[in-house]
Amino acid sequence: MADNRGRGQLRGGRGDRGGRGGSGRGRGDGYQGGRGATFSGFDNRGSRGGGGFRGDRGGGGFRGDRGGGGFRGDRGGRGGRGGFRGDKFGSEPPVFNPGDIPPPDAKITELENSIIKASSLTGQMAKLQVSGRKSTTMSEFFPLRPAFGNRGTEVILWANYVQLGIESQDLFKYTVKATKVFDDDKENADSKGKAIKDSKDPKKGDDSKSRPKGLEPKGRKLHRIIQLALNQISNAIPVVSEFKSQVVSLKPLQLPEDMTITVQYTDEGRDSTYNVVFSKPSVVKLDELIGYLNSMEDPTGNTSFPKFETVVDALGVILGHTPRANAQVGSLGSSRHFPLNLGESSNLGPSAFNSVIRGYFQSVRPATGRFLLNINVSHGVFRFSGPVTELMKNYDLNDDGQLKDLSQALGMLRAHVTTLAAKNQPESKPGGKKGKAASKPPDVSRVTEKVLCGLATRFDGPKDSRQKPLRSGARPHEATFTINAPAPPGLQAGKEYSVADYFKTRYGLEVNLSLPVVNTGTKLKPTYVPAELVEIIPGQALRRKTNSEETRQMIEFACRSPAANAQSIVSTGRTVLGLDGNPTLCQFGVTAGKSLLTVTGRELTAPQIIYTHLKNPKQTTNAPVSEGSWNMKDVRVIKPGRPITNWTWVHIDYDRGSRQLQDVKGAISEFVVKMRQMGISIPVAGPENGLPVLVRRGSAFAQIEQAFGSIPPSTQFVFAVLGDKGTEIYNAVKTLADTKFGFHTVCMFRNSLVKQNPQYYANVALKVNLKAGGVNHKLKDDVTIIKDGRTMVVGYDVTHPTNLSGNAENLPSLVGIVSSIDKDLAQWPATAWAQAGRVEMLDAKLEEKFMERLQLWQKHNGGHLPDNIIIFRDGVSEGQFTQVLTKELPYIRKACERLYPATQVAKISLIVSVKRHQTRFYPTNPNNMTKSRNIKNGTVVDRGVTQAKIWDFFLTAHTALQGTARPAHYTVLLDEIFRSGPNKPEEASNTLEKLTHEMCYLFGRATKAVSICPPAYYADILCTRQRVYMSDLFEAADDAASVSTNARQNITSTGVHHRLKDTMYYI
């Protein structure tokens, strides 16, 4: 029988749990305690865990509400600050490592200053250049940092980086590719036939014309094949790999002339041959990158970014080799590693009993004067592991619904299946009677790795099979098959056996008749095995989106304090990543510093927020700001939007309830009173009765469409009261109102509405006023470059079909652009469209849409076009920076050239804003932290972990209520604005940081500073709304083999109704 390896490895999470929040923008990462810990998960013995609840784009992991267009109607803004009570942290120190806080490295600071000083002349020349018409040469791209910023109160912070020691030497980097070798002519012929069939598909590339699908191994199989190949050729030469496509060695490898290594690999009991083909090595010269980091001068004169990618990738392979090679560590993506045996996990409950595991991200980062290793706590969701019999204990095996759930939970899992030796024949034993069978259990013959198909079902096998199981979830005595000739000893050919009889006769095994059999074959060719012979292999990641309950539990498990996360990084994290006592790192001359780095940050001053005075509408009044938050007590909005003269409300639910309608009617009346108190122009006398809409699950769209058709077309606003928080009703309301009927909608969850909470009413009212074109609040002192009224600010983003099952090749990517129309930066009208799927860079349609934004500005500003255009591009990786400049910027310039007269040229600055990264900062002084023990909002860091000449900075504009605050990272790709004035170089940096920080206080639907500047934030929300319109298409992609081209074209042509065009309908 199989042993119990892996059993219980994914259980745990016994610490006291704290508050729930911590997801989404502005709330930090969300962290929560680990085993044997306080609320924060901090362990004074060394802290067994950490938590960084990512959601990084392109990195896998949880990202919140971006996938299916979930119900978000009751979010609104936030009035109160919340925060922690002191006792929630137990005995945990308020800051990480309070007794030993070193100052930032003085040598690095000196080097940063000298590099900036040396480049000042170059900066002055660039300053002159930006004053005239711009060319499109690379020299204008990636402008030099004019200076480090110097505004704000200086603070010392911990950063989640350690310094790397790297010996100057040459490395040899290979790319590898593994392909299957066919042994006989028949199999080869079959493969060629399949290849010909596949080649008829125009969607497949050239590779499908010559190679049958599935010949190139992936995942665990590829890992093992590459490892087998390396075992043959290492010959004492230090060699490492990420076991996908890269191999790095200290010396050239001794390879055959054809650069091919042949390996034998056994999979699911079958022996196969694979060829592993190595490329010719590229020489990686570490001394070139070391020289660059010490001078920030590229000897080639190349101004692109990022630099020396090949060298950085090679170092990443070296550092990632040990955790990837460790069978007790599960690795996801390129950089995340999860311990499978340290109790760093929590069971997510009845939905397949998946588990969240606390792991660690690592990435090599070049910085001024040194190499750094960025380490952060990360979380991944993994499938159940251990004996299948243990998993079955969680299900009612007499319930058809739960049997179906169990079968789905087992499907596509890799498992070890025990194959038993035939039972012992009668033999003589000393002191025994001749012919009496020996009394001992059956011997284990071998353990084979299989991919499970689930439980037995009534639909297994060929259509004409007479031996299908009588029911799904069949037990061993119910699942039967016929023995083919020649029959094994003791069995008869042509006779029908149940699984129970077969294993008893063949192996002498009395199976458990109460447990369903497991299908280790396929639906067409099932192979039924008793459950007690099957054990799930640990470390298998969940490939679907987590459901709402799993997400909630994941957030709770991940919710931990900054100090706990930092402690986990320097303790458990180092163990999981193999940073100490690692012979592989020693061989390659790599060492990792023991301590986290400290860096210098600056706390920027919060701007003053003003509203209209409640009693005197002609006066404004300040709203006191504390920790980035304020409230709207005794104030009105700055400017009401268009009068809302025609409005109604609807109540949509799956159930009837006359009492509920009466409660909603009274609550709507109170809500209208609150809006009028806030200065929103809406008549107090609304419709006497709303429209009740009763819908059925699965058909809500058609029923809501019919109900909306009865609403007069002149209606401006529909307040939709939803009785259910699911996505079906919400998606239907937004899609129909936005694209077909053309009235603004605000969705409110019934249970929240009827409580008649004034703060809730105020939050929702903020969205109403924005949709109507109003201004909720503004800054008392605007940034000069904005208050002159000659600068337009733009934000744009692209979202892709992610977290789907791989059937999404026809799904489009969605593009959204928002732009300001005045100096208040309050109204951000939008436009959106779809383009080819999984293409990050925008196409030629950007030119047309950008022209529309300029014309809208012109309409609202007396016919004038903006002198300056500041663009925030959201969400691209460093590797795509150059593509933004070479592929997207030309369309923007063409749009300007078509509208501006020859005597006027718009100055453009283009900044990339990124939230999904792994840099975190922790306070060193209790006097410089918030109630949640995070760094204060308004903290900016532009040195210590950056490259001196690259103009970038990290800004934590918000206050994380719990978890660890995630700063936004801004990088300047193009600047024709901030360096063009007569000010000192540091003023360019100060002005950009101040503008970005203060814009975070202008997010219209909130009464708090948000974590990323509104242009980028609004563009992200806009893309999410676009995804709502095609939610059925995206959800179908998870189940269907593909999405038809016609369906795609129908959906991508969906545009917002003309009455909502150029409004904030998406908010």
Question: Do 959 and 81 meet the contact criterion of CB atoms below 8 Å apart?
Answer: yes
User: Per the structure block, which two tokens stand in for 999?
Assistant: 């814009």
Tokens representing residue 989 in the block: 């940096």
Given this model, what pLDDT does residue 611 score? 97
pLDDT attached to residue 270: 82
11 or 472, greater pLDDT: 472
- Cβ(691)–Cβ(648) below 8 Å: yes
| Residue 435 to residue 420: CA distance in whole angstroms | 23
What is the pLDDT at residue 82? 39
pLDDT on residue 835: 85
Beta strand 868-874 pairing with 907-914: parallel
Q: Over range 238-247, report the average pLDDT.
A: 97
Q: How confident is the model at residue 917 (pLDDT cuts 50, 70, 90)?
A: very high
Q: How far apart are CA 725 and CA 70, in angstroms?
A: 8
Longest dimension (CA), the chain: 112
pTM: 0.85
**How far lies 333's CA from each of 87, 248, 390, 773, in Å?**
38, 19, 29, 44
Is residue 495 a contact partner of residue 483, using CB atoms and an 8 Å limit? Answer: yes
Q: What's the sign of the alpha-carbon dihedral 489, 493, 497, 499?
A: positive
- Summarize the confidence of residues 897-921 as an average pLDDT: 96
What pLDDT, on a 0 to 100 scale, did the predictor assign at position 482? Answer: 87
Q: What is the pLDDT of residue 123?
A: 54
Q: What is the pLDDT of residues 290-341, one digit of tens each?
A: 999 999 988 777 767 888 999 999 999 999 999 999 999 999 998 999 999 8
Beta bridge partner(s), residue 452: none
Does the pLDDT value for residue 60 go beyond 80? no
Angle among Cα 795, 800, 805 to the nearest 5 degrees reads: 160
The secondary element (H helix, E strand) that includes residue 166 is strand 161-166
Burial (CB < 10 A; 0-12, 13-18, 19+), residue 1037, is buried
Residue with tokens 């000196």: 110
Output the CA angle 974-115-911, nearest 5 degrees.
20
Mean pLDDT, rounded, for 805-812: 62
Would you place residue 203 in the very low, low, confident or very high pLDDT band (cuts 50, 70, 90)?
very low
- Contact (CB, 8 A) for 322 and 243: no
Provide CB contacts within 8 A for 659, sequence distance 6+.
none
pLDDT at 431: 43
Tell me the per-residue pLDDT of 825-838, one tens digit each, with 9 for 90 and over.
Answer: 999 999 999 887 76
Per mean pLDDT, which of 28-42, 228-242, 1052-1066 is the most reliable?
228-242
Task: Count other C-beta atoms under 10 Å from residue 113's C-beta.
Answer: 14
Tell the residue number behind the tokens 């094994």, with chain if given. Answer: 488
Domain boundaries, the chain: 170-284, 410-536, 640-771, 786-1052
Q: pLDDT-derived band of residue 444, with 50, 70 and 90 as boundaries? A: low
* For residue 912, pLDDT beyond 60: yes
* Element holding 186 (H helix, E strand): helix 185-199
Question: Is the pLDDT confidence value at 1010 over 80?
Answer: yes
Higher pLDDT residue, 783 or 47? 783
CA angle 737, 743, 746 (to 5 degrees): 75
How far is residue 805 CA from its own chain's centroid? 15
What pLDDT, on a 0 to 100 scale, did the predictor assign at position 343? 79
Exposure string (b/e) for 72-98, b if CB count within 10 Å is 16 or more? bbbebbbbebbbbeeebbeebbbbbbe
Q: Which amino acid is at 552?
A: R
3-state DSSP call for residue 835? strand
In angstroms, how far is CA 989 from the centroid of its own chain? Answer: 30
| Residue 337 burial (10 A CB sphere; 0-12, 13-18, 19+) | buried
pLDDT at site 545:
82
The token pair at 913 is 């804003």
More confident residue, 235 or 173: 173
Q: In CATH, which superfamily holds the domain spanning 786-1052?
A: Ribonuclease H-like superfamily/Ribonuclease H (3.30.420.10)
Mean pLDDT of 417-425: 78
Measure the CA dihedral 283/289/291/296, to 10°.
Answer: 150
CATH 2.170.260 at 410-536, yes or no: yes
Average pLDDT, integer, range 260-269: 88
Residue 121 has pLDDT above 70, yes or no: no
Mean pLDDT of the chain: 84
Give the pLDDT confidence of 637-694 residue by residue, as tens digits. Answer: 999 999 999 999 999 999 776 678 889 999 999 999 999 999 999 987 778 788 999 9
Q: Give the pairing of strands 620-623 and 609-613.
A: antiparallel
For residue 591, give the H/E element and its range: strand 590-592
Which amino acid is located at 546 in the chain? T
- The answer on pLDDT for 818 being more than 80 is yes
Q: What token pair was written down for 341?
A: 């045996």
List helix spans (H) across 578-657.
Answer: 583-587
Quick one: DSSP state of residue 775? B
Sheet holding 534-536, edge to edge: 386-387, 534-536, 414-420, 444-451
Burial letters for 499-530: b for 16+ Cβ neighbours within 10 Å, e otherwise?
bbbbbbbbbbbebeeebbbbbbbeeeebbbbb
Average the pLDDT over 976-1002 and give the result: 91
Quote the pLDDT of residue 396: 94
- Predicted confidence at residue 87, as pLDDT, reads 55
What's the pLDDT at 445?
A: 72
Model confidence band, residue 1051 (pLDDT cutoffs 50, 70, 90): very low
Checking if the pLDDT of 400 tops 70, the result is: yes
Inform me whether the pLDDT recorded for 38 exceeds 70. Answer: no
Q: Which of 173-177, 213-217, 1054-1058 has the highest mean pLDDT?
A: 173-177
pLDDT at 199 > cutoff 90? no
- Interatomic CA distance for residues 1057 and 1038, integer angstroms: 29
Task: Give me Rg for the CA atoms of the chain.
Answer: 32
Q: How far apart are CA 1010 and CA 1003, in angstroms?
A: 7
pLDDT (0 to 100) of residue 234 = 76
Q: How far apart are CA 751 and CA 357, in angstroms?
A: 34
Looking at 645-738, which runs of residues are DSSP E strands? 647-653, 691-694, 717-722
Per-residue confidence (pLDDT) for residue 27, from 0 to 100:
36
Share of the chain above pLDDT 70, in %: 81
Query: Residue 900 pLDDT > 50, yes or no?
Result: yes
pLDDT (average), residues 451-461? 92
Residue 890 CB coordination number (10 Å): 14
The mean per-residue pLDDT over the stretch 19-32 comes to 37
d(CA 157, CA 179): 49
Residues 275, 179 contacting (CB under 8 angstroms): yes
Report the C-alpha gap between 242 and 313 in whole angstroms. Answer: 10
Whose structure tokens read 């199999």?
187
- Give every CB contact of residue 982 below 8 A, 6+ residues apart in sequence: none
Degrees (nearest 5) of the Cα angle 501, 507, 509? 65
We find that the CATH architecture of domain 640-771 is: 3-Layer(aba) Sandwich (3.40)
Residue 838's pLDDT is 67
Q: Identify the band that residue 266 occupies on the pLDDT scale cut at 50, 70 and 90.
A: confident
Residue 369: its pLDDT value, please? Answer: 97
Place of tokens 């959800």: 1035
Q: Please, are residues 246 and 237 in contact by the beta-carbon 8 Å criterion?
A: no
